[in-house]
Amino acid sequence: MAVKEGARRSIVKLETSGNLRSEMTESNNARAIFQTAYENRYIWDEHFPGYTAQLTLKQGEEVYTGQVQVKRDLSVEVTGIEGEQVRDSVYHQMRDIVTHRKSTAFEQAHGKNQFSLGATDNTGAVEILVQGDAMGSNYKVRGEEICQVSRVMGSMAFTINTKESFHTESGYISVGYNAVFRDSKTGELKGERDFQETYTQFGSYYLPTLQVIDSIDNNGSKTTTEFHFTGIELLEFRKGN
């Protein structure tokens, strides 16, 4: 029996509505999975006072010493290190540490993004595909941890894979991970970095005491850089920190 035009339109409408609900459910599931992992990261809270540390930087036969300070507003100061290039390198490394510990609400960081589920790999990690992110970020989540970040920044694409996490009572810290850099258009390998970090509790906060970075260029040549932080002291709650 032929289906009348009005009934046909109703069927199409129902199918479209069903598909839309399915897509919305998938998006909500992907968002919930990612938000749970995002909010499970260890961050420094609004009461973070800042801290100072003595730094010994080792790279091959070269050794540098100086001081670093992370202020309450999360600004960074590096002093006592001779050589502008080395000092700038330390500054940017400290900024990277601060970025990973900085508290940014999920809605502020990702509220405008759209999420969808990708494939699940043989480790149980599920892809979280993102639309609306200016840097073209995608992720993998295993359990309640973000275990992979993939981004494109102009001509460079990079993927960071977490291999080891340190669990605190307030969330996890990725302490063993590697970063792979490629040409975003050709996929050509540009280099790799392997990171191993140690965090120690000082008062109510976990702070880095060691960071070892193995930098491997596209020819396979490796350079190891060690950041040793000692004499760590939390700053007091006072104006100017």
pLDDT of residue 24: 59
What is residue 62's predicted lDDT score, i.e. its pLDDT? 94
- 238 — pLDDT class (breaks 50, 70, 90): very low
Look at residue 4 in the predicted model and tell me its pLDDT.
55
Tell me the pTM: 0.85
Domain parsing of the chain, residue ranges: 8-40+108-234
pLDDT at 22 over 80: no
Indicate if the pLDDT at residue 200 is higher than 70.
yes
3-state secondary structure the chain: CCCCHHHHHHHHHHHHHHHHHHHHHHHHHHHHHHHHHHCCECCCCCCCCCEEEEEEEEECCEEEEEEEEECCCCCEEEECCCCHHHHHHHHHHHHHHHHHHCCCCHHHHHCCCEEEEEEECCCCCEEEEEECCCCCCEEEEECCEEEEEEEEECCEEEEEEEEEEEEECCEEEEEEEEEEEEECCCCCEEEEEEEEEEEEEECCEEEEEEEEEEEEECCCCEEEEEEEEEEEEECCCCCCC
Residue 220: predicted pLDDT: 81
Residue 176 scores a pLDDT above 80? yes
